[in-house]
Structure 1
Amino acid sequence: MTQPLVFDVDTGIDDSLALLYLLASPEAEILGITCTSGNVPARQVAINNLAWLELCGAPDIEVALGSEVPILAPLMTTEETHGLQGIGHAVLDAPARNISERHATQVWIENARARPGEVIGLVTGPLTNLALALRIEPELPRLLKRIVIMGGAFNHAGNTLPTTEWNIAVDPESAKIVFDAFSGLPSDRRPIVCALDVTEFIEMKPHHIERLAKESLSSPAEIIAEDDLYGTRSQASNPLIRHLSDAVRFYMEFHKAHDQGFLAHMHDPFAAAIALHPELGQSRPATVDVELAGTLTRGQTVADWRGMWGREPNADVVVSTDPEAFFDHLIERVSSLARTLTR
């Protein structure tokens, strides 16, 4: 049975792998890809999504432009993390496909209305588009089957400010709108939140790329070495492996430069996997709110685990997973997609 979903992204290196994972998953029916500014500006996000779809020979999936700025905050992007175009060292062909004429909010609302109780929402970037859609259609939390959000940090340090995760930091007002909108709903409609508490342990290392290339039947062996010259380009025969390796190498180089090891945190592919297979993580209900006024803590996600606010839980926060089981699943899926490409 296929699972229809709307994928909202700010593509992004790890968003790119999340998209490849969804394209490789036979149970995923991608109804639309909605683009927001975050890792890079929204129009570049749209181009990246179209280019990946074209590279993979994917069906004609709608790619819609959403908000190009946060609701209130000035726009932040992070090309130093993801590269000038958001895909690291990879250089994808300019896509021939076009951006949809519909706005991202229309994609969210019209798909949810057309298939009430069926559509999964997956957000791996700032929550701007979903917040705007909620303003137009407040019934979205009841129309959607479930929402999966990559964002936040609870019992973990932030990656943007000491207590703040990037996707929330870009647009804290939108994050608060979303969490508030899901308050008071039945437990099966609560958002599933994949925060840094778990995603920082989803560490892709060179041996994962080597194994992915091997299972994709790509040659020669795909070795990303820590002592390679900066920006060394892949020579892989398989185009998906070649471009993905170039993107991930940049991410590994970034993490190494910031004393986090020669690795890449794959936040967004994990959230994509949870969207299709919630059983891959163990979650805990909490009441989640977002700090908007703190001088030092603006954008912090705060979880009330014990009901101290006297408010019902409005989120299920993923608190644990088996990272290697996840990578087994990811590699199996993406290598199956890579094997279909011959050029």
Structure 2
Amino acid sequence: MAAALGGLGLLYGRFRLAAAVAATSSALGPRAPVRGGAAAFPSAGRGYGSEAKEEEELRVRYLDEEHKGIVVLGLNRSHAKNALNKNLLKMMSKAVDALKSDKKVRTVIFRSEVPGIFCAGADLKERAKMHSSEVGSFVSKARATINEMANLPVPTIAAIDGIALGGGLELALACDIRVAASSAKMGLVETKLAIIPGAGGTQRLPRTIGISLAKELIFSARIVDGEEAKSIGLISHVVEQNEAGDAAYRRALALAREFLPQGPVAMRVAKLAIDQGMEVDLVTGLAIEEACYAQTIPTKDRIEGLLAFKEKRSPRYKGE
């Protein structure tokens, strides 16, 4: 019982925090949506050069029309294979902070806008220039940013259309669902001299594929392709790469569209119940689920859902 109450305290604490964040959402400023749905996204022949401005290293796209509610965060550091540097982490943190309090956002897709690469991990060239006292701070910032991604209240999908190494795979592991092209390569190693993940990989990988197999992959610094990643449970969907090089993104977009008709409040509390429930015992998890369900009772989502269910029921159940 005490454990259940502790779980509820943690849950309601997060609800209070979410309310506080929502109250300050007006300070985030307006966003500029990109019109045109999926057609607005470059695929083959994207050709982003090495002279990309810093503010373009992360492209935030708010889709519309039939994709309204889907937001795409596109990594765009072609000259550095989307390696995570201080600026990119800062931009990611800022984008995620804005998204978490935006009630119009229904699903977030993380992808690369650089052909053949998802993310090559930490920017080792930048790290080599850091003083030893700066490295710990950088790793902490990377871990905090990826944790912020994992804690987004809406579903998140990683579209892996290329190499995802080290911090790149850790970024993908922080997403709820991972989709990869069959040719994609992924692993928790940046170099043979740095096989220890620093942004949550030693914790999220075993929770995803199991302890023994996670140890094997980390100890061996093994890199797997999309097919093997699917077979071990590292990703949910594997697709054949297309000529445009964005097959995983297209599959992620189709998956995100499946989420759009669902009630937004129900989606958010379902994610919260699952994420928190997996970290506690079953009794506490059930208490968390009950508290989450209570959040949907007075909502428009639930009322409309019940009405729709009643209309679709087989005639033999009517009047019962």
- Structure possessing the higher relative contact order (Cα contacts under 8 Å, 6 or more residues apart): 1
TM-score by length of 1: 0.29
TM-score by length of 2: 0.31
Q: Which of structures 1 and 2 has the bigger CA Rg?
A: 2
